[in-house]
Chains A and B, each alone.
Chain A
């Protein structure tokens, strides 16, 4: 069951768009990992025989998420050996990887072949196929993103090209696969279950100071120093006890007293969200600052005088 051919590779429109965005906004070439699942879809031909026959069922790889470092060779060493430290988000598996190569031919390169071969050969990375648990699939999906090599610079038209492949270890070939972009609409209803969001809420400790957060000059401690504030715990307590049926109390005699309590809770929630966003904003700014610094250092190494510095 090793070389099962995929019928197609399905990806949701927003995921594909955000991959393209990441690739095109990164400084140079970049690569990343693809997460998702592989499922066996049995066609609707009714049959008394209930064994899964590969002839009437098709295998589809669903890409539900990805990570992109914004740099080339981010998860493999100089010899293209895969560094398996990356964990797939809950409920998904590593199903392959992608490479974004600016202005180059849309054809797997020497290194891309080696990395794909390395990932697909790792027995630790194989995972069961949904709805056919006896089958296992190892990560063999490969996406390549590029822009055409020979466009004149300064053109205002952005062209992004991509191609998806399934790698066949026995034949050592990349087989082009069709990509089906799943969007919202009646035609795609059958796919909705494949792309349910699974990202957990980030586990960030943060402070909340009620209405005070609206002040512009508020001080926000760095994440490392920040201990869970008591008010935060308070909020957790309130939320824990809260039941939807309690909303019934918004009407009737208790309403006045209860509304105030509810408002306070909302306010605290807003405060928490506000603090979180500010922290995200600040840390993002810091990350960009560091990235720019690194980029400058690398440019110095490469001996490039950067016109953009001026």
Chain B
């Protein structure tokens, strides 16, 4: 419903949370729990990143009682997660950060929900570590003992009636700050690469434990610089443990990231080499140099060429898309070509030579494209 909205005190706490949390939090759905104020949203489901997945918690405010702190309903699989208990120790009176945020709750303070969620998530990390520690498996015990000293590691134990018990590790890799390596980068969140390792817990007395399922996962924005899908993971030798595996992986990743950062300049040189022939670009993406658009004229026919330059440039050639500035479809959309890579190319050429060959190709191709545009327009 368009008229549905958060009351101001919830809205300000929610927006502070979304803007300040170290990872991207989402509100999955929001709804109204009040009798009198229909359309006033006071409860919502938060998707909080955890262990390369999301945990979903329902946050229950009361629009009718704004002074009260919100309550939280955790996921159905976390019925044993009790972060907020009084009887810790004997007196239960000592204040932990979670208790103090709840006992000094103030609806006016926009930071409160942020602190609450952060504290709860910290408790959740400990809770999952405890669960993983209770899993009866020698290999896992060893992995946990040797690897838990790494900072930022997260574990998730998942088990269900139908699927076998699994322990997932999310291991942050590389202590390098990729954000700082890219000049003028506009990423809001810290970019990270994690190794996801999923160990299935074997039934007792099974022969040899299988290798964990391994996968690299990066923060989504990193893809414009470096795609983890292109990384070939070192193979897992039987009997290996993670503490042995990680140094090799990190070493090779470190090199690849440096290469990826260096490739920004290679792409920039390429765009710059295009300029003397094509004229100044209409538009060029300046930080990662992945896209540039030039205006090309062939006689009286002028069209735009969009270059999309892959992260693997120059090993992979750029994709070209031609777009007419004179021909439009019946929906008034400029007519454009498919992405083309059928032009002469060699990664060993100098940028200036690449640009020359491209220019020659486009001079010829301009006539064909004009013909194509005219045909398309006639069809309409």
Contacts and interface: CB of A to CB of B under 8 A. Distances in A.
Interface of A: 25-29, 71-73, 77-81, 101-105, 107-114, 117-118, 121, 149-150, 153, 172-174, 295, 298-299, 301-304, 306-308
A304 B37 contact: yes
Nearest 7 Cβ contacts at the A-B interface: A28-B64, A302-B66, A303-B8, A102-B33, A28-B62, A110-B72, A111-B71
B103 A78 contact: yes
Best-surrounded residue of A77, A101, A110, A173 (most CB of chain B within 10 A): A110
A32 to B, nearest CB: 15
B137 to A, nearest CB: 23
A28 B43 contact: no
Contact of A79 (B34, B39, B99): B99
Given A27-B64, A103-B43, A113-B82, 20 more contacts: A25-B35, A27-B35, A78-B69, A79-B102, A81-B86, A102-B35, A103-B31, A104-B43, A107-B79, A111-B71, A112-B71, A113-B85, A121-B86, A149-B43, A172-B85, A301-B66, A301-B107, A306-B37, A307-B39, A308-B36
Interface in B99-133: 99, 102-103, 105, 107
9 contacts: A25-B35, A101-B33, A110-B83, A153-B39, A298-B65, A299-B36, A299-B37, A302-B7, A304-B37
Contacts of A109: 60, 71-74
Contacts of A172: 80, 82, 85
A233 to B, nearest CB: 45
B40 interface: yes
Nearest to A105: B73
B193 interface: no
A111 B84 contact: yes
Given A117-B87, A295-B36, A104 B58 contact: yes
Contacts of B31: 103, 149-150
Contacts of B86: 79-81, 114, 117-118, 121
Contacts of A121: 86-87
Contacts of A78: 68-69, 102-103, 105
A72 B65 contact: yes
B84 A113 contact: yes
A13 to B, nearest CB: 25
B50 interface: no
B240 interface: no
B227 to A, nearest CB: 37
B1 interface: yes
Given A28-B35, A173-B79, A295 B71 contact: no
B139 to A, nearest CB: 28
Nearest to A81: B86
B146 to A, nearest CB: 30
B33 A304 contact: no
A107 B71 CA distance: 12
A303 B102 contact: no
B161 interface: no
Contacts of A149: 31, 43, 58
Contact of A110 (B1, B9, B36, B73): B73
Interface residues of B, number: 44
Contacts of B71: 101, 109-112
Given A104-B58, A153-B38, A306-B37, A28 B9 contact: no
A107 B38 CA distance: 24
B76 interface: yes
A160 B279 CA distance: 70
Contact of B33 (A28, A73, A80, A302): A28
Interface in B297-319: none
Best-surrounded residue of B33, B39, B87 (most CB of chain A within 10 A): B33
Nearest to A79: B103
A99 to B, nearest CB: 9
B33 A104 contact: yes
B65 A28 contact: yes
Contacts of A105: 58, 73, 76
Contacts of A307: 37-39
B32 interface: yes
B1 A153 contact: yes
A150 B31 CA distance: 8
A306 B37 CA distance: 7
Nearest to A114: B84
Nearest to B4: A153
A29 B73 contact: no
Interface string B1-38: 10000011100000000000000000001011111111
A73 B71 CA distance: 10
A26 B33 CA distance: 11
B63 interface: yes
B363 interface: no
Nearest to A102: B33
Contacts of B185: none
Contacts of A173: 79-80
A103 B33 contact: yes
B269 interface: no
Given A29-B60, A102-B35, A110 B43 contact: no
B33 A29 contact: yes
A110 B82 contact: yes
B231 interface: no
Given A71-B65, A78-B69, A111-B84, A304 B35 contact: no
